Amino acid sequence: MNSIWSIAKRELRNYFVSPIAYIILTVFFVICGLFGYIEYMAKFQYAQLVPIMGLMTNIFMFLSPMLTMRLLSEEKKQGTLELLYTSPLTITGIVLGKYLGALLFFGLLFLISLEFPIFLMLYGKPDVPVMLASMLGFILFGGTLIAMGLFSSSLAETQIVSAVIGFALVLIFWVMEFFSSAVSGSVGNWLATLSLSKHLESFNKGVLDGGDIFFFLAMSFMFIFLAIRRLEWKRW
């Protein structure tokens, strides 16, 4: 347990040693801020968090592979995985530590993004339950993308390759709904249930659907599990 925390802490610190943390945070908040300004001040002038949440999910979709690409790829390439494997750690512990590290960075990003709801509260009267629901949706969505990226990182030895795989994976699950409309019958319906965007809809309407919450948690769990299996399989 302690070692999971040690790995997570090192990972979080690592983000700020390299320029990646600053790039992600800058890009994210410059775009969201600009859009927020246009959306609220210039265009509609209504107090709703949903439009900006929608934008945040879209931007984070593009940035998440950058956040996760180095998690396991870098360890493999630098040979430090050999250190982790020969230390008294389990593979599950290593992978969970990595996940937690990236999740902590995402948590930081989320904390900064609280400026948007705070300003809405200060200058307008937003619908608080809808706001909270959409924020929960964003958190669950972020956790799922990080799990997907972590799995991609377990597949590749270079950061670029793992970023590309990660982005492809996220994109496939994002546009799954579009695929599903092209396929008729039960296969189509089944594909639709795997769509990330579809499961986000209810949150943005202020509805907390148990099925949708379960979907994101299950997806995260599945990709973390796959990453663990992948490393175990590689090892024997």
Partner 1 sequence: MIKVSRLTKYYGPTRAVEGVTFEAEKGEIIGLLGPNGAGKTTIMRMLTGYFAPTSGTAKVAGYDIIEEPMEVKKRLGYLPEVLPLYYEMVVSDYLEFVAQIKGITFKERRAKVAKALGLARIEDVKHRIIGRLSRGYKQRVGIAQALLNDPEVLILDEPTIGLDPKQIIEIRELIKSLGGSRTVLLSSHILPEVSMTCEKIIIINKGRVAAVTDKAAIEGKDRILVKLLGQPEQAVAALSKVKSVAKVEHSVEGSYSVLTLESSGKKDIRQDVFKAVVESGLVLVEMRQASHTLEEVFLKYTAKEEDAR
Contact footprint for partner 1 (CB under 8 A): 2-3, 6-7, 10, 14, 17-18, 78-89, 235-236
Min dist. Cβ of residue 228 to partner 1 (A):
16
Min dist. Cβ of residue 89 to partner 1 (A):
6
Pick between residue 14 and residue 158 the one whose CB is nearest to partner 1: 14
Min dist. Cβ of residue 77 to partner 1 (A):
10
Pick between residue 16 and residue 37 the one whose CB is nearest to partner 1: 16
Pick between residue 101 and residue 142 the one whose CB is nearest to partner 1: 101
- The DSSP string of the chain is -HHHHHHHHHHHHHHHHSTHHHHHHHHHHHHHHHHHIIIIIII-----SHHHHHHHHHHHHHHHHHHHTHHHHHHHHHTHHHHHHTSS--HHHHHHHHHHHHHHHHHHHHHHHTHHHHHHHHHS---HHHHHHHHHHHHHHHHHHHHHHHHHHHH-SSHHHHHHHHHHHHHHHHTHHHHHHHS-HHHHHHHHHT-HHHHHHHHHTT---HHHHHHHHHHHHHHHHHHHHHHHHHH-
Min dist. Cβ of residue 37 to partner 1 (A):
36
Pick between residue 75 and residue 177 the one whose CB is nearest to partner 1: 75
Min dist. Cβ of residue 148 to partner 1 (A):
25
Pick between residue 3 and residue 58 the one whose CB is nearest to partner 1: 3
Q: Which structure tokens are listed for 26? A: 């800058």
